[in-house]
Amino acid sequence: MRLKALTLSFLAVSGLFSMGDFLSNWATAKCVQADVSVQYNISGSKEPTNRSNDVDMESDPSCRGNASVTTGVQGNVGGNGPVEQHRTVRHRQRGSDGNSGGNGGAVQIRSNPGIDVYNPAENWRD
């Protein structure tokens, strides 16, 4: 019985050491790239906005420890004609902080909503 308890204790402790090694490799700081933008149209047009948001993100495979963010807002308020909104972003990230280990690469985040709001009051303006 005592040998069984000792074996289980050994397995539990060795599992913690293995998990600690796994977590330290997993938690190696990767590069982070984020693009946050909003494209909105508030008008009397019943047609949807002709909208594009072309975001291209690239980073070195060995990139670690860097973070960069691009932001943008395109808006139109008023009118009742067709609206066009076009956005192009080329996001490049190079280098690292010199840490070794881990897989590197980048975590890429995109948040780019397009919003259309019909405002019938625009049809009554002069």
Is the pLDDT confidence value at 118 over 80? yes
Confidence of residue 106 (pLDDT cuts 50, 70, 90): confident
Residue ranges of alpha helices (H) inside 1-126 are 2-26
Closest listed residue to residue 67, CA positions, set 10, 36, 108: 108
Average pLDDT taken over every residue of the chain: 78
Q: Between 91 and 94, name the one with better pLDDT.
A: 91
Structure tokens at 34: 């984020």
Is the pLDDT confidence value at 9 over 80? no
Q: List all residues 6 or more positions away from 100 whose beta carbon is below 8 Å from its beta carbon.
A: none
Q: By three-state DSSP, how is residue 67 classified? A: strand
pTM as predicted: 0.67
Average pLDDT in the 71-89 region?
Answer: 94
